[in-house]
Structure 1
Amino acid sequence: MKKYLWLVVSLFSLLLCPAMAFGHATVISSNPSPNEALDTLPEKISIQFSENIQPAFHSLEVFSQDGDKIQIQDSTISEQSEKILEAKWKGTINEGIYYIKWRVVSSDGHPIEGTIPFQFGDSSGLPDQDNSEVNASFPNSINVILQSLQYICFAALTGILFFRLSLMKDSRLFEASRRTRLYLWLSYAGLAFSIFCSLPLKVTIDAGVGWTDAFKVSYIKEVLNATNFGTVWIIEILILLLLFLVIYFMLENSLNKSLPYLSFIIIASLMICKAFTGHTAAVPNQVLAVLMDFLHLLSMALWLGGLMALLVILPGLADRQAVQEDKKTFYWSIIQRFSKWAFLFVILLIVSGIYSSIQHVPTIHSLFNTTYGQLLLAKIGLMLIMIVLGGFHFLRGKKQTKKLGYSVGMEFGLGIVILLVAALLTNVQTAMSSPGPIEKTLRTEENNEVTLMVTPNEVGDNLIQVNLSNEGKPIAEIEQLTITMQPLDSPRGEIKLQMTEKNTGTFSSKSILTMPGKWNIHIHGLTESLDSINADFIIFIGNS
């Protein structure tokens, strides 16, 4: 185990520099802004998002209060920034209330949509309405099934190749097994099916159409030519064709030692392609995020795939041994080798899982109160049970009393459920959208303690509260306290507040926070003796 210690330390160091991201794009600003009353129309409609949007299946439409569609030019992505969607007016409009309906596909491949109400000229007041309605519904069931199938087939292929390369010594015995050949080809067929079907499924999600239009040439071309998914899908198809040839020649030529290694590398490259889609596409440090996502998928596939090989392949291979004692020796030698490797897989799973969690779950509140956080807790719980079963099998392998029984099937079944939960996690909005109420405390150079509380800490109405104390006692001689709040993702949107003292050393004010993401909160207090108290906080505002 000591030889793995360097790996644990190296991977754990990566956790010191995580990058946070929403997972779905959110509206940062717009022109017109939500509920804005305009005397003159801007030259064009523009909406800025928190991340780059894909140049496919985006739209901007304007409707009057009566539902009549207003003619505007087609939406385009701004030349200034890939985060901005814009469209020019075709003419003037009458006074009244209007609604901008927008739809985009964010960089992580998830479509979102919403409305922005505004008023032009003199008209009755606007009803309050959120500026963004992110499509955070439960993921498409077909998408979850296909992704689960893909994960299972990844596990089956990597597991059986790992079985061949690291656990067995006689390659000819491996290739001679009919069960092994069937296992390999069924796994490949499932993987190919899931990847092929992901294209028309992506059309239905991004274009918002049914399966009857999923194979429409224009839609397929737009997905392939104008989305990140399309580029990755084409690469995956080419890799699949190469994998078919390598597996075929590997089974036909059992003496060739390089083909099993090449097969494993090709399957690993498909996993890397998978890591480039989903939530990792939206993080600032994408290279590290993709690496950790790949390691997480690979280690889980090797662990679960190894169990599949032990259940399906090992008994048949053991029975091919001529002497009963050789059967027992062969069986338990494989089990013991796999147990040692499983320890490494668990380490990789834990480290990469912690990194991903830090990226997408900002607070304890969001862990327990969001769909993403609850699914993550379920995955962690199942993983712990699976680790306990793995430890039980490791101890039994040392005793070599009797063959592994139903408990291995239980461990394998838990792994399948974990892959299903993982498929759900890749399709729901991350917990960054709902970090929950926040409370932070800083100590200044003058030994003053400044505590900031923001509730509910999301776009819209919020209660801002500041407590000032020194050595545990409230500071009484505060002449005034002001707060300057600036979103870090946009130069616009600065908010200044004059705080009201509620109790000694306790100040509060209500404010509307206009956009999600990182904000810098600067607190400036002035005492009666003209001494300053200054503190800066970086907080994360949710969008729901």
Structure 2
Amino acid sequence: MKKSILHHYADRAASKRRTSYLTMSVLLLILIAFASLLVLPEASAEPLGKYAAVEFDPHEQVGHHHSSDNSRAEGITAGEILFFAARALYYFALMLASGMMLWSVVIPVDKDSIARRLLIKWEVYAMRLLLLAALLFVFTHITQLLKGYDGGNPNEWFRLLTETSTGQSWLAILVLSLLGFAVLRLTDSFKLIWALLLAAVESFNGHIMALPDNTLAVVLDFLHIVCSALWAGGLLLLLMFWRAERKEAGRFAERFTKIAWMTILVLTASGIGMVVLLLPAWQYLFYTSWGIMLLAKGVLVLLVACTGFLLHRRAKQGKLPNGKLLKLDGLLMAMVLIIVSIFTYLSPVPNTEPLSYHKMGDKLHYTIQIKPNGPGPNRINLKIWLPMQLGAPASVSLRLQAVDHPNRPAIEVPLRAASGEDYLSFPGFTETDYESEKVELSTRGKWEVELIIKDQSGAETKELISFRND
């Protein structure tokens, strides 16, 4: 009896030590996440690199040519509902399974521990759900990708899974989902490694892979996924303990609330970092469905933090978790996962067309280009051709006016001389090039360019060019 009691307390002490180790690990993740924010590059006026985006496009990687027949129909179809339902189920299963594996290191290993017995039982169900969700996720995504192509050909499925970075990551997720059943029989250390591997594979997927230099983005995404699993998986465990055994819920709440607030910090820092890397300008948050859903997610996370604070305060007072607060936290988490399952599939940048306008005349030719032609910073290139006897312009003025907001002052574009590419040449004319970077277009809609060119003879030409940046 005495040995059993001593063993029980020793096991509890070991569990507390592992909780401390996990806490220190999360603190390290916080330092890494905030350190990453310090090395973020400046926002670029260019859209996501075309070459990198093509490299990430599964169709391009297997030699498919996009077809105009494969356009999206208006409205939401039953297939799309199933598609996003499969994504939501997958993210739920991913968070549950990986979260349980991560939290297993702080659950007492004593076989007499009620929490350990419950965890062993739930881990099997979580792994089954993950395998089922992963299979459904991959099936629906391949079906969606091959729509309009030879989707009934098994060779196309095989090529997509083996010859594309996206398919390879899906294949790795399926393999890890199967290996998870073997890992359940191993020690908690192997479970921890399995969960980290799953997060690593998942981080090599999504929008960040379209970035020209995605190393930092992958690191931030990995931190984001690991901390998401700690938070969501831990909350789900707490809810399950609360329904099965209230005393165990109280014990686990002490460990969970101690770490949960730190995971929120990492989630915030890593999320901000990825947004900075993905978006050319913060204005894009208000002009895309992706941005609006991200803002909604941010509001929900703030509510989660407030709820978590109340739960943490009860845990510090030695009280059992409040059922209503737990259910509210669970509901908020479900809403976050649903939003994540949708907005991670949407494009973070609006589908804008760069402006390229060329005009020819008897005594003047000019070309103006605005890239990416969206809200936020843009790059402007201007080429002017004047008769050789006149030479370069005496002065050039370029102004941008938001037509939809006439009361706003026009933007005076600071032009500087540039050495442009001579992709066009006109006999008897001299080419002069100008450029300007980080020209802020504050809103989307209709704009007007006012171009005033004064030549060496004193003659002045005024040109007005209308365009849209949406």
TM-score of the superposition, structure 1-length normalised?
0.58
Q: Deviations over 1:471-508 (max 9, x none)?
A: xxxxxxxxxxx9986979xxxx9641589xxxx99643
1:484/1:522 contact within 8 Å kept? no
Q: Deviations over 1:451-471 (max 9, x none)?
A: xxxxxxx52378xxxxxxxxx
**Cα distance change on mapping 1:145 and 1:23 into 2, 3 Å:** farther
Aligned counterpart, 1:362: 280
Query: Using the alignment, how far apart are the partners of 1:346 and 1:331 within structure 2?
Result: 21
Q: Deviations over 1:245-273 (max 9, x none)?
A: 121x24xxxxxxxx222122112212221
Match status 1:288 vs 2:216: yes
Match status 1:202 vs 2:152: no
Aligned counterpart, 1:157: 97
Aligned counterpart, 1:12: 34
- Percent same amino acid among aligned pairs? 20
Query: Using the alignment, how far apart are the partners of 1:193 and 1:136 within structure 2?
Result: 30
Spell out the pairing of 1:70-81 with structure 2 (5 A cutoff). Answer: none
Match status 1:384 vs 2:302: yes
Aligned counterpart, 1:220: 157
Please give the secondary structure, in 2, of the residue aligned with 1:342. Answer: helix
**Cα distance change on mapping 1:146 and 1:267 into 2, 3 Å:** farther
- Which protein is richer in helix relative to its size? 2
Aligned counterpart, 2:399: 508
Match status 1:148 vs 2:88: yes
**Cα distance change on mapping 1:401 and 1:353 into 2, 3 Å:** same
Spell out the pairing of 1:524-539 with structure 2 (5 A cutoff). Answer: 524=417, 536-538=436-438
Query: Using the alignment, how far apart are the partners of 2:41 and 2:74 within structure 1?
Result: 24
Aligned counterpart, 1:304: 232
1:276/1:290 contact within 8 Å kept? yes
**Cα distance change on mapping 1:410 and 1:487 into 2, 3 Å:** closer
Aligned counterpart, 1:276: 204
2:354/2:369 contact within 8 Å kept? no
**Higher RCO by CA contacts (8 Å cutoff, separation 6 or greater):** 2
Spell out the pairing of 1:102-501 with structure 2 (5 A cutoff). Answer: 103=66, 140-168=80-108, 170=110, 172-174=112-114, 177=117, 179-209=118-148, 216-247=153-184, 249-250=185-186, 259-314=187-242, 316-317=244-245, 327=247, 331-431=249-349, 433=351, 458-460=353-355, 495-497=382-384
Aligned partner letter, 1:51: A
The Cα of 1:23 is off from its aligned counterpart by 12
The Cα of 1:390 is off from its aligned counterpart by 0.4
Aligned partner letter, 2:110: D
Query: Using the alignment, how far apart are the partners of 2:312 and 2:120 within structure 1?
Result: 28
Query: Using the alignment, how far apart are the partners of 1:22 and 1:199 within structure 2?
Result: 35
Query: Using the alignment, how far apart are the partners of 1:22 and 1:427 within structure 2?
Result: 23
The Cα of 1:343 is off from its aligned counterpart by 2.0
Query: Using the alignment, how far apart are the partners of 2:45 and 2:194 within structure 1?
Result: 31
Paired residue total: 373
Q: Deviations over 1:178-199 (max 9, x none)?
A: x544422221112111222233
The Cα of 1:338 is off from its aligned counterpart by 1.5
Query: Using the alignment, how far apart are the partners of 2:311 and 2:281 within structure 1?
Result: 36
Please give the secondary structure, in 2, of the residue aligned with 1:537. Answer: strand
Spell out the pairing of 1:46-65 with structure 2 (5 A cutoff). Answer: 51-53=53-55, 57=59
Please give the secondary structure, in 2, of the residue aligned with 1:508. Answer: strand
Please give the secondary structure, in 1, of the residue aligned with 2:437. Answer: strand
Aligned partner letter, 2:135: F
Aligned partner letter, 2:33: L
Query: Using the alignment, how far apart are the partners of 1:279 and 1:21 within structure 2?
Result: 16
Query: Using the alignment, how far apart are the partners of 2:75 and 2:416 within structure 1?
Result: 38
**Cα distance change on mapping 1:231 and 1:268 into 2, 3 Å:** same
Aligned counterpart, 1:40: none
Aligned counterpart, 1:530: none
Aligned counterpart, 1:452: none
**Cα distance change on mapping 1:286 and 1:535 into 2, 3 Å:** closer
- For the aligned residue pairs, the C-alpha RMSD in angstroms reads 4.6
Query: Using the alignment, how far apart are the partners of 1:389 and 1:192 within structure 2?
Result: 31
The Cα of 1:391 is off from its aligned counterpart by 0.6
- Which protein is richer in strand relative to its size? 1
**Cα distance change on mapping 1:19 and 1:144 into 2, 3 Å:** farther
Please give the secondary structure, in 1, of the residue aligned with 2:205. Answer: coil
The Cα of 1:375 is off from its aligned counterpart by 0.7
1:146/1:198 contact within 8 Å kept? yes
The Cα of 1:362 is off from its aligned counterpart by 3.0
Query: Using the alignment, how far apart are the partners of 1:144 and 1:383 within structure 2?
Result: 21
Spell out the pairing of 1:1-40 with structure 2 (5 A cutoff). Answer: 8-15=30-37, 16-18=39-41
The Cα of 1:538 is off from its aligned counterpart by 4.1
The Cα of 1:301 is off from its aligned counterpart by 1.5
Query: Using the alignment, how far apart are the partners of 2:382 and 2:140 within structure 1?
Result: 43
Q: Which moved more, 1:8-17 or 1:218-227?
A: 8-17
Query: Using the alignment, how far apart are the partners of 1:235 and 1:24 within structure 2?
Result: 30
**Cα distance change on mapping 1:390 and 1:296 into 2, 3 Å:** same
Query: Using the alignment, how far apart are the partners of 1:6 and 1:242 within structure 2?
Result: 28
**Cα distance change on mapping 1:160 and 1:199 into 2, 3 Å:** closer
Aligned partner letter, 1:508: R
Query: Using the alignment, how far apart are the partners of 1:135 and 1:231 within structure 2?
Result: 29
**Cα distance change on mapping 1:226 and 1:495 into 2, 3 Å:** farther
**Cα distance change on mapping 1:283 and 1:461 into 2, 3 Å:** closer
Q: Which moved more, 1:375-384 or 1:215-224?
A: 215-224
Query: Using the alignment, how far apart are the partners of 2:138 and 2:152 within structure 1?
Result: 9
Aligned counterpart, 1:523: 416
1:300/1:345 contact within 8 Å kept? yes
Query: Using the alignment, how far apart are the partners of 1:22 and 1:234 within structure 2?
Result: 35
Aligned partner letter, 1:260: D
**Cα distance change on mapping 1:239 and 1:232 into 2, 3 Å:** same
1:483/1:524 contact within 8 Å kept? no
Query: Using the alignment, how far apart are the partners of 1:521 and 1:52 within structure 2?
Result: 33
Query: Using the alignment, how far apart are the partners of 1:56 and 1:354 within structure 2?
Result: 27
TM-score of the superposition, structure 2-length normalised?
0.66
